[in-house]
Amino acid sequence: MGRGSSGLHAAPPVPRSAVRQRVDRLVREVAKFGAVGGTGVLVNFLVFNLVRHVTDLQVVRASVIATVVATFTNYVGYRYFTYRSRDKSRRTKELSLFLLFSVVGLVIENGVLYAATYGFGWDSPLQSNIFKFLGIGVATLFRFWSYRTWVFRALPAEEPVAGAESFLETRRRQPEKPRVRQRVG
């Protein structure tokens, strides 16, 4: 035995299961989505409160303006950070779908604020911010699902192709067996 060696060899690393790899990818995607979304929330609240205090616009109108500004901020973050490795071949369709689902998210987000403000009369600045936050939370669940499912589509997996190519390469290296003809009697 050499110096510093215990005589035991480390086992080769065990490849992670396909399920574990998918969970790891999903966790990374959620973290990136959350980072971009968190920035969008900050932009949304900053613009919302600024418009609310500087203009005489009603609460929901100020919120819609803030949501639109945050949506454009988020698109840049999602396209170039969260989903940068996703299919980029159909940008016009991607942007159209992003805007469509963003409008649905805008309706969800501001519908909660509208219901609280005009349905229950909760319109103090604190109440408006609380219900805006709740609306953002509900709309975020919808946006995450719709953006990852329909807007920023995953590219086809390369692993099966690599496996097939290595199989074919192995087959090419093996010499062919000579064919033996059998005589039929």
Residue where the block lists tokens 């980029």: 88
> How far is it, in rounded angstroms, from Cα 98 to Cα 101?
5
- For 86, half-sphere exposure in the C-beta direction (CA atoms, 13 angstrom radius) is 19
Q: Nearest CA to 64 among 116, 106, 108?
A: 106
Q: Is the pLDDT of residue 10 over 80?
A: no
For the chain, which residues make up each domain, given as ranges?
A: 29-86, 88-153
Closest CA to 123 of 43, 68, 41, 63: 63
Give the pLDDT score at 63: 97
Average pLDDT, the chain: 84
Report DSSP letters for 101-161, one per residue: HHHHHHHHHHHHHHIIIIIS---SHHHHHHHHHHHHHHHHHHHHHHIIIIISPPPPPSHHH
Task: Compute the average pLDDT of residues 133-153.
Answer: 92
Residue 17: the pLDDT is 85
The pLDDT assigned to 48 comes to 98
First to last CA, the chain: 66
Going by C-alpha positions, the residue among 51, 66, 146, 43 that lies closest to residue 102 is: 146
Q: What is the pLDDT of residue 86?
A: 82
Residue 181 has a pLDDT of: 64
Task: Express each pLDDT in 43-86 by its tens digit.
Answer: 999 999 999 999 999 999 999 999 999 999 999 998 898 888 88
Residue 41, classed as helix, strand or coil, is: helix
Residue type present at position 95: L
Give the separation between CA 32 and CA 74, rounded to whole angstroms: 11
Nearest 5°: CA angle at 7, between 3 and 9?
A: 115
| pLDDT-derived band at 153, boundaries 50, 70, 90 | confident
